[in-house]
């Protein structure tokens, strides 16, 4: 699943370049040096109406269709912001920090947020009957909101050197794109593949406790199943997600 970089997220349907996880290994340490010790701050009836219009009402039909599309996009944009807030405000970050021995730092906050944004993106991509257009739009709205939050938090951490802060956010965006590819592959295959992806990215290839790794794999599987069971209204009309406990 390709996600656009920050600063260009509004070009919602452009293709992005896939960056392999291995190519970003050198960048991970750079970002950890900067962020690793920084404390975190913690419409279905309308479709029937359109189809029933006489064919000679072409202009009116186009106008109504355009209005419906704009109205739908507005709802999805609002839903994307609220869904991200469900992550930022609803996740028990302290539970993850404690279980996996993570510092209460920006880098740890981002890794937890990134994981949940990915799981939610997998779910919303299923929405929309027209080549999942609604799903892609909603996914990109969530990601754009995340990057807006990241930039705000980063400015607080690196207010003395804005150019360096922007560079670090760009590095994070490259790592984010790479990790989504890895997570997608892991989720598509077996637990072994998923564990490998989570160990490399979320645990930063440092955790030697395989019981904790198993806990993380089980959490991702359970949460992905929970999200799959949500109806469209729970994602778009009244976005509210009750996140599962880690254990």
Domain boundaries, the chain: 22-235
How far from 197 is each of 42, 124, 185, CA to CA, in Å? Answer: 26, 21, 8
pLDDT per position as a tens digit, 198-223: 999 999 998 889 999 999 999 999 99
- Determine which helix (DSSP H) or strand (DSSP E) holds 73, and give its type and residue range: helix 58-90
Closest by CA to 115, choosing from 88, 140, 155, 134, is 88
* Six token digits for residue 132: 């999942």
Q: Is 39 helix (H, G, I), strand (E, B) or coil?
A: strand
Contact 186, 122 (CB under 8 A): no
pLDDT per position as a tens digit, 61-91: 555 455 445 557 888 999 999 999 999 999 9
d(CA 28, CA 5): 17
Over residues 155-180, the mean pLDDT reads: 85
How far from 4 is each of 22, 176, 181, 237, CA to CA, in Å? Answer: 19, 10, 13, 25
3-state helix, strand, coil in the chain (%, to 5): 70, 0, 30
Q: Is the pLDDT of residue 145 over 80?
A: yes
- DSSP secondary-structure letter at 246? -
* Six token digits for residue 238: 């009244």
d(CA 169, CA 166): 5
pTM for the whole structure: 0.74
Q: Is the pLDDT of residue 55 over 90?
A: no
């Amino acid at each position: 699943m390709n996600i656009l970089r920050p600063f260009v997220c509004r070009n919602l349907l452009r293709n992005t370049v896939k960056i392999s996880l291995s190519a970003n290994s050198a960048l991970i340490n750079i970002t950890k040096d900067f962020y690793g010790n920084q404390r975190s701050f913690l419409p279905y009836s309308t479709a029937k109406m359109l189809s029933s219009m006489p064919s000679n009402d072409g202009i009116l039909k186009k106008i109504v269709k355009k209005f419906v599309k704009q109205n739908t996009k507005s709802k999805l944009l609002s839903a994307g912001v609220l869904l991200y807030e469900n992550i930022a405000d609803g996740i028990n970050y302290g539970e993850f920090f404690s279980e996996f021995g993570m510092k209460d730092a920006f880098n740890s906050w981002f890794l937890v947020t990134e994981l949940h944004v990915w799981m939610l993106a997998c779910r919303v991509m299923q929405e929309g009957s027209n080549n999942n257009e609604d799903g892609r739009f909603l996914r990109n709205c969530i990601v754009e909101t995340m990057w807006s939050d990241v930039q705000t938090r980063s400015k607080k951490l690196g207010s003395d050197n804005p150019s360096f802060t922007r560079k670090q956010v760009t590095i994070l965006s490259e790592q984010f794109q790479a990790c989504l590819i890895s997570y997608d592959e892991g989720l598509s295959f077996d637990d072994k593949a998923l564990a490998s992806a989570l160990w490399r990215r979320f645990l930063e290839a440092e955790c030697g406790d395989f019981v904790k790794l198993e806990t993380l794999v089980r959490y991702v599987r359970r949460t992905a199943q929970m999200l799959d069971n949500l109806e469209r209204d729970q994602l778009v009309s009244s976005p509210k997600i009750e996140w599962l406990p880690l254990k």
